[in-house]
Amino acid sequence: MQVYVDGPSLAELAARHRDAYAAAEPFPHVVLDGALPDEMLDLVLERFPDPSSPVWTQYQSYNEAKLETQGGQDLGSDLSLLLGQFNSAPFLRFLEQLTGIQGLVGDPYFTGGGLHQISRGGRLGIHADFSRHYELPLERRLNVLVYLNRDWSEDYGGYLELWDRDMTECRERIAPLFNRMVVFTTTDWTYHGHPDPLTCPPGMSRRSIALYYFTVGRPAGETIPGKQSTLFLERPGEAFPVGSPGQGKLGLAHVHKLERRARRIETVRRWTPPVLFDAARAARARRR
C-alpha cells in the first residue's frame, strides 16, 4: 500500500493556515481543499462498503439518521491501511502544527468515526460531540472530516453548519465536496451538524471519513462536568419531539447552568491546595 500522507507538504499547509485556524469563528477551525491526493480518496471510494454491508452501524432517531463504521478491521486490509495513515506520525504532526494542540494521539478503534454515510432524507442535528474516549483514558480534542462527494450539487443540502455558543445563529456553512477537509477543535460548546434532511437523488449518499484525535488531559473549562455522550440542541424555532433521545431536550439554559458550575469548580480548584481539593471531591463521590 502506497503512503499518501506527505509530511513536508502537510507541514507547509499547517504553517499557512495555523493563524487562520486560531482566529476562526465561532470556534477554531479551517477548511482545506485538495490537502490529500485525489488518488487516495478515489481508492477509499472504490472500497467504500455498500449500505447493505454488515460493517455499518445504523443510527435512526429524530436527531440523526446515518450509517457509521467502527473499527478498521471490519473493512478489509486495503481500506484499513488507507484509514490507518490518518493515525500516522506525519499526520499527527500536521494537526499539532495546525492547531497548536500538542501530544495528539489517533484512535485505532475509530470510536464513533471511520466511514460515515447519510442517505436521502437523513440528517445530523446540531450537537456537541462526546468529549472522552469510551475505552481509553483520553480527552477528545479534534475532529477531522474528509468529504468524498464528487458532483455534489448545492440543491442536495448536507452542508456542515457551525453554530455560535449561544445557539443563536449559524456562523458558517460548508459544502461536503470531494477532497475537502474540515478540522475543528472539540469542546462541549463546539456546536455543529447538518440539521436539514438531505435531498440528494435516491441511491446517492453523503460520504465522509470522520477522524477524532485525543490527548491525555485537557485545559480546564472545555467540558461540562459529568457529560460524556453527544449533546443535541434545538435551533431557534425548533422543538424536539417529546421523548426524543439526546440531552439537548434539557435546553440551552440547562447547558449554561452546567457551564457556570464548571467555572465555579475551576475557580475553587485554582485557589485550593491539590490535596484538599482531591479529598473534597473523593468525599462527595462517596456520598453519592
Give the separation between CA 124 and CA 64, rounded to whole angstroms.
Answer: 4
Q: Which three cell numbers stand for residue 98?
A: 495546525
Q: Using one digit for the tens of pLDDT, what is the confidence trace for 198-245?
A: 999 999 999 999 999 999 999 888 887 766 678 888 888 888 877 665
SS3 260: helix
Q: What is the pLDDT of residue 247?
A: 46
Between 13-27, 170-184, 252-266, the lowest mean confidence (pLDDT) is in 252-266
SS3 263: helix
* Residue-wise DSSP of 152-202: --GGG---EEEE-TTSS-EEEEE---TTEEEEEE--TT-EEEE-SPP-PPT
Between 12-21, 53-62, 151-160, 243-252, the lowest mean confidence (pLDDT) is in 243-252
Q: How many CA atoms lie within 13 A of 100 on its CB side?
A: 11
Between 88-92, 167-171, 219-223, 259-263, the lowest mean confidence (pLDDT) is in 259-263
Q: What is the pLDDT of residue 283?
A: 61
Q: Where are the domains of the chain?
A: 7-248, 251-287
Q: Which three cell numbers stand for residue 128?
A: 456537541
The amino acid at residue 8 is P
Q: What is the mean pLDDT of residues 43-47?
A: 94
Domain 7-248: homologous superfamily in CATH:
q2cbj1_9rhob like domain (2.60.120.620)
Q: For residue 248, name the pLDDT band (cuts at 50, 70, 90).
A: very low
Phi, psi of 155 (to 5 degrees): -65, -20
Q: Is the pLDDT of residue 188 over 90?
A: no
SS3 95: helix
Phi, psi of 65 (to 5 degrees): -140, 100
pTM confidence score: 0.86
